Structure 1
Amino acid sequence: MKDIFSNLKNDLPAGIVVFLVAVPLCLGIALASGAPLFSGIIAGIVGGTVVALISGSNIGVSGPAAGLAVIVADSITQLGTNSDGVYDFERGFALFLSAVVLGGIFQIILAFCKAGIIGYYFPNSVIKGMLSAIGIIIILKQIPHALGHDVIPDGVESFFQSDGENTFTEIWISLGDINPAAVIITLISMIILILWEQNFMKRIKLFQLIQGPLVVVVTGIILSRLLIGMEGFNLAQDEMVTIPIASEQGGFTNLFTTPDWSRIFSFEIILIGITIAIVASLETLLCVEATDKLDPEKNVTPTNRELLAQGTGNVISGLIGGLPITQVIVRSSANIQSGGKTKMSAFFHGILILFSVMLIPGVMNMIPLSSLAAILFLVGYKLAKPSLFREMKAKGRGQFVPFMITILGIIFTDLLIGIGIGMAVAVFLILRKNLNTPFSYVEKHEEGGPFIIELSENVTFLNKASILQTLNMIPDNSKVVIDITKSKYVHPDVIEIISDFEIHAKNTGIELTIKGKFDENKVNPVAHFRSKVNNGNNKKKSYWTTVFNS
C-alpha cells in the first residue's frame, strides 16, 4: 500500500480545496433533501474520515449525494405521517435514520456477495459522458452564485429544483438579479485561478505551496468585508456559506440526532433501506469507475472494498444523524484537479469540516459563494474540456453517440436517469453491431460452390438473431459450410439454431457441412486463470481479506 503520509505537500492543499467545495454542497443537499442542515455536515464528516480510511481508493471522496435527495425527502415525509395524516418531521427523520443504518448493512452484505463487479460493465463512452455532463452542470449551477442571485442550492445533479425552477430558468432569473459585489469577487477569483494555472507561476516554489483556491477564498472574505456598507454591494446571507452554529443550550452535541428503532423491522423501513443501498451503491460504483479514469496514476479501486467502506459509513452516519453517503464525482474530481495523491487528502477534508463546525463556524460563514463558484468553474471546465469532445468524435459514431446522449440525459434529468439513458443507447448500438460481427459470411463465387459461414472466436446469445437471419436466407438445394474451428465458445442457443438448421437442411435439399466440433466441456478462460492463480497460492486467505481487496 502506498504510504499515505508520503505526499502531504500535495494532499493537504488538495484537502483544503475539497473542504471548501464540500461544505456548501453538504448544506445544499441537506436543504434539497428536506433534512436538517447539520445532517449534511455529518455525512460529509463521516464520508471524509470513516469511509476514506476503509476505502481502497486513493483519490475518491465521499459525502452526501444529490442523487439521493428525492428519496430522502419522500422517505422522511412518508415515515413522519401517521394514519390520521398528521405530520411530525422530527419523528419522520429519526425513523429515516434507522433506514439509513439498515441501508448500510445491506451494502456490507453486497460487498461480501462481491457485487462491486457491476461497475465494470459500464462502457467508457457512458462514463466519459457522465464526467463531461457533471462538468457542464457544475458550471451551469454555479452561474447564479457567481452573479449573486439568492438561489436554493440543490447540489449539482438535478435539472429540476425544489423551488420549481430548473437549471436554465434559474440562470435566466439570476440575470435580472445581479449583485455587483458577487460579480467583482467572481471575476477577481477567476483571474487568480487562471494565473495560478500558468507555467511561470508553477515554477515559483511559494506558489507551489500556496494553492490558488485557498488564495481565492481568503480574497473573497477580504473583498466581502471591504464592500460592506457600499450601497448595492452588500452580499446577503444567502450568498454566503451557512454552517449551523451550535446553540448555547446543549452545545455542539445537540446538533446530532439518534435513530428511532421502533419500526426497524417494518416493511416501509426495510424497503427504504434496500432502496438506499441499491441507489447509493450504484452511484458509488459509477463514481469509482469515473475517478479511476481521471486518476493520473491509473490506480484501480477495489470495488467490493468500496462497498464495504460505504456501507460502514452509512451505518455510522445513520447512527449519529447524517444523510446517506456515496462516493461523489464533484468532490473526487476537485481532489484530483487539485493534486491529491493519497486518501490523506479526503481524510484531511473530513477533519477540516469537523473542526470548522466545532471551532470556527463564524469564519466559515464569511466565505462568499461567488468565491466557491469560481473554483467550481475551473473544476467543471477540466471535466468537460473541448478536447474530450473532439477525442470522442474521432472514435466514431459508436462512441460519440452514447457519449452525447449521456451528457444530454444527465443535464436534462439527473445523474442516474441520464446514465440509464446512455446505457440503453450504448447497449442498442452494441446489439446492432453484433448483427454483423459474430461470423463472416462468404457467398458462393461459382456455380455449385458452397456458402461459407465462419463463426468468430466467441458467439453469444446476442448473436442469435443475425445467425438465424443469415441461415434463413440460404436457398434450397445449396451447399453450406459452417466453420467453427476458430470458435472457443458458442452459446447453447446458437448451437440449437445450427442443430435446427441441420434438420431443416435435410428437408430442403441443402448439403450441410460442419467443420470443427462443439465442445461443451471447454474451460471458461477467466475461471481457468483464477483456478491457476488460486492453486499456485499456498497461503489460505480469509473471506474477509478476499472481499477487502477485490
Structure 2
Amino acid sequence: MFSPQLRLRPDVLSRDILASIVVFLVAVPLCVGIAVASGVPAELGLVTGIVGGLVAGAMPGSSLQVSGPAAGLTVLVYEAVTDHGVAALGILVLTTGILQVGLGLVGFGRWFRAISTAVVHGMLAGIGLVLISSQLYAMAGVPAPGGGLDNLTGLPDLFTRITGAPAISSCAIGAGAIAVLILWKRLPGRLPQMLPGPLVAVGLAILAVAVFDLPVASIEVQGLIDSLRLTGLDDFGLLADVGLLGVILAFTLIASAESLFSAAAVDRMHDGPRTHYNKELIAQGTGNTLCGLVGALPMTAVIVRSAANVQAGACTKASRILHGVWLLLFAALFPAVLGLIPVAALAGILVHAGAKLIPVTTIRPLWREHRGEAVVLAVTALAIVLTDMFMGVLLGIGLAVIKTAWETSAVRLDIDERDDRTTVALVGSATFLRLPLILDTLEALPKDRPVELDFSRLRHLDHACRTALEAWSTHSGPAESPGPEKGGTPREAALAGLAPKSEGPPRTTDR
C-alpha cells in the first residue's frame, strides 16, 4: 500500500483526491464552528485548516493524519480571547509554535507519550463538558453566563428562557443538527460514507431557515483578508504578562499531547509508515508558528478528520495537502456561503463533538479494572470544569504521578516470631509514602524480645525510610534490656538488620 512507486500510480492519486474531498467536506463546518465557539471570526478557523493542510500536511511526521483547529482547544482559546482580547491570540499561537518546534528538535516529542492516558481522557472529558454547557446557550441564542461551572449551574435557568419564536427556532435548528449527526451514519447504503454528517446537518439547517423563514442568527462574515491580523514585534511585549505565559504552556501541552495521541490512534488504523513523533511535533509547531503570524486559531492534529481521511481510502499525504487546497479555494471564492450558516446548527455540531469527547463507554470498565485511573480521569475533568484547562491538566498530571508513586512503593512486612527473637522481613519498595504502615507495624511488636529487620527482599530503600528505621531502632529498646549473652537488646538487633549506608540493602536498585 505504501511502496515508493505508490505516488506515481493514477489509481492512488484518484483515491487521494477523493479522500481529500471527503476530508474537506468534514473540515468546513468544524473549522467554522470551532472559530465561532472560540469567539473569533469564522474565517480564522478556515485559515488554520488551510495551514494544517498545505504546511503541516506537506511536512514529514505522520503519514495520514490531518491537522486543523480542534474542539479540544475551543474552551482555552475562548478564555484567552475573553481575558486578553483577540489581538493577543497571534502571539499566543506563535509562541506555542516556536516552543513545539524547539521541543521537537531536542527530541522531546516521544516524551509526550508518557502522559497518563487517564489524564488525557480526563482532559477531553472536561473539555467536552465545558463545550456542551457553553454551546447549549448558543443553540438557544442567548449569551452564556461565563465559565464552565457557571454555565453548568445555569442550565436549569436556561430552559426557562427558551420562549419566543427566535429562541424556539434556534433550539429546533440546533436539535435538528444533533439528530442528523446521530442518525446519518445509521442510514443504509453508501450515501452516509460519501457525504459527511456535519455537512449534511449544516446544509439541511440552511435549507430549513430559508424555506420556513426562521428568525435565527447566522454567521457574521468579515472576509478572509479582513479577518487576518499580522503579529508584529510590538506584540511580544504582551509576554510580560505572567498570565499569558500560563496560557502558552497550556496551549503547548494540550496541542502537542492531542496531536501525538491522535497520531498514535491513526497509526492503528492503517498499515503504512508509523509516525515519527519528533518530526510530527516540529510539523505541528511550524503550522502553529504560521497561524500565529496571521492571528489564526491554534492547530492540532484532529482525530475526526484523520479518521475520515483513512476511511476514505487515502494512500499518501497528498490527500491532506489537497484538502488544504480545497479549503483555500472555498474561503477565497465562496465566502458568502458562510453567512448562510445558522449559528445554532454549528452549536449543535459542537455539542455532538463535545459529547464524543466524554469517554462514556470506557469509564465503567476502567472503574472495575483500574480504579485509580478512573479517579484520575474524573478529578481531571472536574478540575477543568471548576477552574480552567491549565490547572485541571496540572492537577491531573500531579495526581497521576502520586498514584504511580504510591503503587510502585508497595511494601509488605512478613513477621516471623520464633523462640526469643522476632524477624521482620520487608518485601517490595520501602519509601516515605509507606512509612506510617512500616512504623505502626514495628511499634506494635512485643517490647520484650529482640527484633531483627531483614532487607534481603527489598527492591528499594529510600533515605527517608532508612533514617526513620535507624531512629526507631535507637529508641525502641525496653526499660530493662537483656544482656548480650541473651541475644542483645532489641536496639542492637534492629541496628544489625540495617545494612551499612555505604553498601545499601541487598537489593536496592530500582526496577
If the length of structure 2 is used for normalisation, what is the TM-score? Answer: 0.74
Quickly say closer, same or farther: Cα 1:431–1:318, change in 2 above 3 A: closer
AA of the residue aligned to 2:412 = S
- Quickly say closer, same or farther: Cα 1:261–1:132, change in 2 above 3 A: closer
Is 2:218 aligned against 1:224?
Answer: no
Q: 1:25 and 2:34 equivalent?
A: yes
Aligned-partner residue type, residue 244 of structure 1 = Q
In 2, distance between residues paired with 1:108 and 1:422? 25
2:380 & 2:178 partners in 1: Cα distance? Answer: 29
Q: Distance in 2 between matches of 1:68 and 1:359?
A: 28
1:442 offset after TM fit, Å? Answer: 0.8
Deviates more, 1:504-513 or 1:219-228: 504-513
Residues 23/234 of structure 1: CA separation in 2 closer, same or farther (3 Å cut): same
**Residues 415 and 263 of structure 1, relative CA distance in 2, 3 Å threshold:** closer
Letter in 2 for 1:159: G
- Structure 1 residues 275-306: Cα deviation after superposition (integer angstroms, max 9, x where no partner): 56422211123324653575582787554334
Instruction: Name 1:452's counterpart in structure 2.
Output: 424
1:98–1:261 CA contact under 8 A, matched in 2: no
The aligned amino acid for 2:122 is G
Residue type matched to 1:114 in 2? G
CA contact (8 A) 1:409 1:418 kept: yes
**Correspondent of 1:322 among 277, 290, 296:** 296
1:539 alignment counterpart: none
Shift of 1:432: 4.8
- What residue number does 1:159 align with? 148
CA offsets 1:328-375 (integer angstroms, 9 cap, x no match)? 7xxx24335656457667655544443332111111221223333443
Give the structure 2 partner of residue 366 of structure 1: 340
- What is the rounded CA distance, in whole Å, between the counterparts of 1:62 and 1:473 in structure 2? 62
Preserved CA contact (<8 Å) 2:116 2:400: yes
* Structure 1 residue 510 corresponds to structure 2 residue 493: yes
Q: Which amino acid aligns with 2:106?
A: C
- In the superposition, the TM-score normalised over structure 1's length comes to 0.69
Deviation at 1:196, TM superposition (A): 2.6
Task: Select 1:241's aligned residue among 210, 216, 219.
Answer: 219
Q: Is the contact made by 2:162 and 2:168 (CA closer than 8 Å) also made in structure 1?
A: no
2:78, 2:136 → 1: CA distance? 22
Task: For residue 455 of structure 1, give the secondary structure of its aligned residue in structure 2.
Answer: strand
Q: Does 1:182 align with 2:170?
A: yes
- The structure-2 alpha-carbon separation of the partners of 1:430 and 1:447, relative to structure 1 and needing over 3 Å to count, comes to farther
Counterpart position of 2:50? 45
Q: Which residue of 2 aligns with 1:212?
A: 197
- Residue 107 (structure 1) aligned with residue 112 (structure 2): no
Equivalent-residue separation in structure 2 for 1:349 and 1:468 (angstroms): 64
Amino acid across the alignment from 2:251: A
Q: SS where residue 222 of structure 2 aligns? A: coil
SS at match of 2:26: helix
User: CA 1:63–1:462 in structure 2 vs 1: closer, same or farther (change >3 Å)?
Assistant: farther
2:252 is aligned to: 281
Letter in 2 for 1:51: A
Correspondence for 1:133 among 126, 136, 142 = 126
> For the Cα contact (< 8 Å) 1:111–1:305, is it kept in 2?
yes
In structure 1, the partner of 2:278 is 304
| Structure 1 position 380, deviation (Å) | 3.5
Give the gaps of 5 or more residues in structure 2. 477-488
Correspondence 1:452-491 to 2 at 5 A: 452-456=424-428, 477-485=449-457, 487=459, 491=462
Unaligned 5+ segments in structure 1 are 77-88, 247-251, 526-550
Measured after TM superposition, the shift of residue 12 of structure 1 is 3.7
* 2:26 matches 1:56: no
SS at match of 2:215: coil
Instruction: Report Cα offsets for 1:476-520 as digits up to 9, x if no partner.
Output: 652324233563x65566566667778779881325346997499
- AA partner of residue 61 (structure 1): S
Deviation string 1:430-465 (CA, Å, 9 cap, x unpaired) is 45555xx53221122444354332332x66675566
Structure 2 residue 122 is the aligned partner of structure 1 residue 122: no
**Comparing 209-218 and 49-58, the one that deviates more:** 49-58
Do 2:177 and 2:201's aligned partners in 1 also have CA atoms closer than 8 Å?
yes
Q: Which residue of 1 is the match for residue 181 of structure 2? A: 193
The equivalent residue for 1:81 is: none
**For residues 426-437 of structure 1, what are the structure 2 equivalents within 5 Å?**
426-433=400-407, 437=409
Aligned partners of 1:28 and 1:153 also within 8 Å: no
Do the aligned residues in 2 keep the contact of 1:19 with 1:352 (CA within 8 Å)? no
1:417 corresponding residue in structure 2: 391
SS at match of 2:366: helix
How far off its partner does 1:26 sit?
A: 1.8
Q: Is the contact between residue 118 and residue 285 of structure 1 (CA under 8 Å) also seen in structure 2?
A: no
Specify the code of the residue in structure 2 equivalent to 1:439. Answer: V
C-alpha distance in structure 2 between counterparts of 1:271 and 1:139, whole Å: 29
In structure 2, give the amino acid aligned to 1:367.
I
| Residue 21 of structure 1, CA deviation | 1.1
Native 8 Å contact 1:485 1:515 kept in 2? no
Of 414, 439, 443 in structure 1, the residue corresponding to residue 411 of structure 2 is 439
Given the superposition, is the C-alpha separation of residues 405 and 103 from structure 1 closer, same or farther in structure 2, using an over 3 Å criterion?
closer
CA distance in 2, matches of 1:361, 1:20: 13
Quick one: percent identity of the two aligned structures? 20
Contact kept? 2:104, 2:278, Cα under 8 Å: yes
Local SS of the residue matching 1:443: strand
Tell me: CA distance 1:313–1:475, structure 2 relative to 1, closer, same or farther (3 Å): farther
The CA distance in 2 between the partners of 1:59 and 1:21, in whole Å, is 16
CA distance in 1, matches of 2:82, 2:138: 24
